[in-house]
Amino acid sequence: MIRARWWMAVAWAGATACEAPTGNTVPGPSADAFSGGVATVFDATGSAFGHPAPTLSSTSLAHHDAGDAAFEAAFVTAPAPVNPGLGPLFNSSSCAGCHTGDGRGRPPNPGEVAAGFLVRLSLPGITPQGGPVPVPGFGGQLQQRAIQGVSPEADLAISYVDSAGVFVDGTPYALRVPQLALLNPYAGLPGGLLTSPRAAPPVFGLGLLEAVPEQEILQLADETDQDGDGISGRPNYVYDMVSGQTMLGRFGLKANTPNLLQQAFVAYNEDIGVTTSFLPAENCEGQIPACATHPPELRDSVVQAVTFYLRTLAVPARRALDDSTARHGEALFAQLRCSACHQPTLHTGGVLGVPELSNQTIHPYTDLLLHDMGPGLADGRPDFLATGSEWRTPPLWGIGLTAAVNGHTTFLHDGRARSLIEAILWHDGEAHGAREAFRALSAADREALIAFLRSL
Amino acid sequence: MLTAALTTTVAALPGCGEPIAVRTPAAVDTTLVLSNVATGVILGLYRELDGKAAAFDTAVGQLAGNPTDANLAAAQAAWRTARAPWEQSEGFLFGPVETGGYDPALDTWPFNLVDAQTLLAGSDPITPTVVASLDGAVKGFHAIEYVIFGQDGQKHAADLTPRELEYLVALASDLATSAHQLRMEWEPSGGNFVDQLGQAGVASDVYFTRRAALQELVNGMLGICAEVADGKIAEPFESRNLELEESRFSNNSRTDFVNNLTGAATIYTGSYAGQNYGGLSAVIVGLRPDLDRKLRAQFDSAIAALGRMSPSFGQAVLDNRSSVEHAQRAVHDVAETLEHEILPLLHRP
């Protein structure tokens, strides 16, 4: 969104001038502001997630900017001279409508039409490709909006009940447990329906995650918990729609998407109702008469530009490196074994078409693997190899800037956590031990851990 | 590539070895600057928008009650009047306007003509509640612009159908409601975002440092410069396609652009509605008085150059292209200074 290039010079000079000393027993960065390697920007404002990697060549930058414009573009109902192809069913009329500021969505407030939030649907079983079974008449995702003259599939309503808890030091807390309802469906919803509500995740730094060599991710996996630490970590293997092959899943909240190209064209199709050569059928085809077959609504070059945009969005620098509280929190993060899944450091290999991003040391705080997070967070909806209680470790980089970019601090897959503290307290399953260790911390130590997260 | 100023900035980054002496903005009270900009300029402009959107709603009520050409002209004038503070406020598109969905609700472009025609052809009541739930491309300034100006800018009162008037009344009410809510997000008696910005680094949940808040002001100015020069002007200009012109039904584009740059300049100078609240300039002038003079002059030049695209932006794209290129260049000059000279000065812990 912002085209300022001044960060380029900062990142260049910094990358050579202050390589971080590492090598303590804690896996992870120490005093390294460059969370995205050379693809790091120094901006702690509402624009923090929206900058191109500072080292892009001018050709790459032009490609990124074209993708930026496409990411912002609002689609309208065809026929139209500008941006035709919206719907008939959709969740949002633009990419940026959900990923505002390239950041995080939140659950709708009562009476609000959801933006940046959607619900995945399926029936029990798996498709020949190994994925979730679409729901007849609804597909794999609920579209709660439609063009005029077409009924939306249903309205979303989310209510909450409080669940009380207490820290070991006696301080009480309350978590809110969401309850999802699909109201006014345009047709009958089948029995056995599986649902999974999702808040839109941030979209920066994804090219770096795409470029982490598969072997590095698999080395972190411990499917049968050989080391006996209670934490397994499993790769998801998913269907690559372009090659028709099974590939390692990296993106999506259950790692059900192998690469950013697929992420982009599936989102165009499912979220905006825009067809492409990759997915030429409307998301409602065969369901409603308005879903007629027609030539693709968007050129491949635009899909490629948006993919490139996602691939080249930079990561905001870590802040407060000289803050002793945050540094203490960083040590606690390792001591509590949060870092066992939220891996502080990964490395990129070659980045396809973007040599500028290749061979970087990055600090995303994820292992890109699936972990069982316990029954409280379970959606009960399997997705390729991910079970109904497994989720991919989400990256934590930039998480401290959520309020600045998105004006809220709701976290987890469905935004149920209203703060970072609540997000930690929801951890269970493989993270039970870490959560209990957090619950046993003193108030000062809890604050230090949060101060660390807010510095990311 | 590196200039001296940038080297200075790098050395001041945390964790990068010995900081070297830099001239800092500490000589001025940046908290006071932020607080004055938030309260005097930003909240002032949102209050103005609220008042003018309400006045537009009133004008639409009169038009609906008595659809004469005079009342239509009054509604059109009230639309232009309400659009001015909105376009000025695009000089600071951060905070609630972005995070609360106000920008898409007020000013989504392009307008969804097919959906609007389907809606108008239907028979379900079009109430403010219905409009509130519509996608942004069927409401806000541009949906209203379509109804009151017409696609060719030649709308007469006799052309307005009862159904269009029903839509218009709901659209005007929704616009006024959104404008009011946006103002209340900033009001100390409401969401109090003035304190999030004004108390940056002191008592803000959004801006953990004053530097971040100062940078936000610059990003806002830079963002609108980029949008005007590289989007709103460049897209119709490069393709010679006037369907890519944003306010083409009302032929208001040139005024929009002037207001965009005026809003950015207001953040810089702090001069709003005859008062000087002290803008970002108050930080810069003590450090680099020459730079302050230069940027002020560049803002003046850009605003003047935008105004010289004649006879209208659309016509200039076709027949007076040098005036458009000149204006585009002048806006780029402002952006260059903000990016390469102002930001580095602020970028310190």
CA dihedral (A396, A400, A402, A408) in degrees, to 10, reads 120
Question: CA nearest A53: which of A354, A393, A283?
Answer: A354
Tokens, residue A409: 């601090």
Which residue does chain A place closest to B341, by CA atoms?
A6
Instruction: Report yes or no on B34 lying in a domain.
Output: yes
The verdict on a CB contact (< 8 Å) between A47 and B122 is no
Which pLDDT score is estimated for A290? 80
B289 burial via Cβ count (<10 Å: 0-12, 13-18, 19+): exposed
Task: Give per-residue pLDDT as tens, A323-362.
Answer: 999 999 999 999 999 999 999 999 999 876 788 889 999 9
Instruction: Report yes or no on B191 lying in a domain.
Output: yes
CA distance B134 to A384: 35
Task: Give per-residue pLDDT as tens, B295-334.
Answer: 999 999 999 999 999 999 999 999 999 999 999 999 999 9
Contacts of residue A113 in chain B, CB cutoff 8 Å?
A: 133
Q: Count the domains in chain B.
A: 1
Instruction: Report yes or no on B153 lying in a domain.
Output: yes
Question: CA nearest B92: which of B275, B279, B344, B347?
Answer: B279
What average pLDDT does chain A have?
92
Tokens, residue A116: 């940046």
Q: How far is CA B217 from CA B22, B93, B96, in A?
A: 22, 9, 14
Instruction: Report yes or no on B116 lying in a domain.
Output: yes
Instruction: Report yes or no on B14 lying in a domain.
Output: no
Which pLDDT score is estimated for A7? 39
Interface pTM, i.e. ipTM: 0.91
Which pLDDT score is estimated for A225? 87
Whether pLDDT at B26 is above 90: no
The verdict on a CB contact (< 8 Å) between B137 and A76 is yes
pTM, two decimal places: 0.93
CA distance A302 to chain B (A): 16
CA distance B277 to B26: 19
Name the residue among A3, A18, A408 with its Cβ closest to that of B226: A3
Instruction: Report yes or no on B247 lying in a domain.
Output: yes
CA distance B184 to A96: 24
Instruction: Report yes or no on B6 lying in a domain.
Output: no
Mean pLDDT over A140-151 rounds to: 96
Residue B347's pLDDT band, with cuts at 50, 70 and 90, is confident
Whether pLDDT at A431 is above 70: yes
The DSSP-derived string for B195-232 is: HHHHTTTTS-SS-SSHHHHHHHHHHHHHHHHHIIIIII
CA B145 to chain centre: 17
Whether pLDDT at B137 is above 70: yes
CA distance B103 to B86: 10
User: Is residue A320 within 8 Å of residue A455, measured between CB atoms?
Assistant: yes
CA distance B336 to B294: 12
CA distance A22 to A25: 9
Residue B27's pLDDT band, with cuts at 50, 70 and 90, is low
* Residue B316, H or E segment: helix B313-319
Mean pLDDT over B226-247 rounds to: 96
The verdict on a CB contact (< 8 Å) between B216 and A46 is yes
Contacts of residue A100 in chain B, CB cutoff 8 Å?
A: 98-99, 101
Mapping DSSP onto H, E and C, the string for chain A reads CCCCCHHHHHHHHHHHHCCCCCCCCCCCCCCCCCCCCCCEECCCCCCCCCCECCCCCHHHHHHHHHHHHHHHCCCECCCCCCCECCCCEECCCCHHHHCHHHCCCCCCCCCCCCCCEEEEEEEEEECCCCCEECECCCECEECCEECCCCCCCCEEEEEEEEEEEECCCCCEEEEEEEEEEEECCCCCCCCCCEEEEEECCCCCCHHHHHCCCHHHHHHHCCCCCCCCCCCCCECCEEECCCCCCEEECCECCCCCECCHHHHHHHHHHHHHCCCCCCCCCCCCCCCCCCCCCCCCCCCHHHHHHHHHHHHHECEECCCCCCCHHHHHHHHHHHHCCHHHCCCCCEECCCCCCCHHHCCCEECCCCCCCEEECCCCCCCCCCECCECCCEEECCCCCCHHHHHHHHCCCCECCCCCECCHHHHHHHCCHHHHHHHHHHHCCCHHHHHHHHHHHHCC
CA distance A189 to chain B (A): 24
DSSP H helix total and E strand total for chain B: 19, 2
Mutate to test the interface with A, among B99, B142, B334 (most CBs of A within 10 A): B99
Q: Residue B135 is part of which domain span? A: 27-346
Whether pLDDT at A164 is above 50: yes
Question: CA nearest A154: which of A174, A173, A180, A177?
Answer: A180
Question: CA nearest A374: which of A397, A391, A359, A361?
Answer: A391
Which residue does chain B place closest to A46, by CA atoms?
B94
* Residue B109, H or E segment: none
Name the residue among A4, A47, A100 with its Cβ closest to that of B339: A4
Mean pLDDT over B217-230 rounds to: 97
Neighbouring residues of B304: CB distance < 8 A, sequence distance ≥ 6: B330
The verdict on a CB contact (< 8 Å) between A322 and B14 is yes
User: Is residue A266 within 8 Å of residue A251, measured between CB atoms?
Assistant: no
- CATH number where B241 lies: 1.20.1420.20
First vs last C-alpha separation in chain B: 23
Name the residue among B1, B2, B118 with its Cβ closest to that of A149: B118
CA distance B270 to B92: 13
User: Is residue B315 within 8 Å of residue B273, measured between CB atoms?
Assistant: no
What average pLDDT does chain B have?
92
Which pLDDT score is estimated for A319? 95
User: Is residue B256 within 8 Å of residue B229, measured between CB atoms?
Assistant: no
The verdict on a CB contact (< 8 Å) between B6 and A6 is yes
Task: Give per-residue pLDDT as tens, A22-69.
Answer: 333 334 445 699 999 999 999 999 999 999 999 999 999 999 999 999
Which pLDDT score is estimated for A131? 98
* Residue B234, H or E segment: helix B234-239
Tokens, residue A126: 């798996």
Residue A156's pLDDT band, with cuts at 50, 70 and 90, is very high
Which pLDDT score is estimated for A31? 65
The amino acid at residue A438 is F
Which pLDDT score is estimated for B91? 98
CA A4 to chain centre: 25
Name the residue among B14, B211, B219 with its Cβ closest to that of A321: B14
* Residue B330, H or E segment: helix B321-337
CA distance B69 to B72: 5
Task: Give per-residue pLDDT as tens, A246-304.
Answer: 999 999 999 999 999 999 999 999 999 999 999 999 999 878 888 888 999 999 999 99
Mean pLDDT over A182-191 rounds to: 95
Name the residue among B101, B206, B213 with its Cβ closest to that of A115: B101
Report DSSP state, residue B312. -
Pairing of strands A315-316, A40-41: parallel
User: Is residue A252 within 8 Å of residue A392, measured between CB atoms?
Assistant: yes
Task: Give per-residue pLDDT as tens, A189-235.
Answer: 999 999 999 999 999 999 999 999 999 999 999 988 888 888 989 99
User: Is residue B159 within 8 Å of residue B179, measured between CB atoms?
Assistant: no
Instruction: Report yes or no on B250 lying in a domain.
Output: yes
The amino acid at residue A284 is C
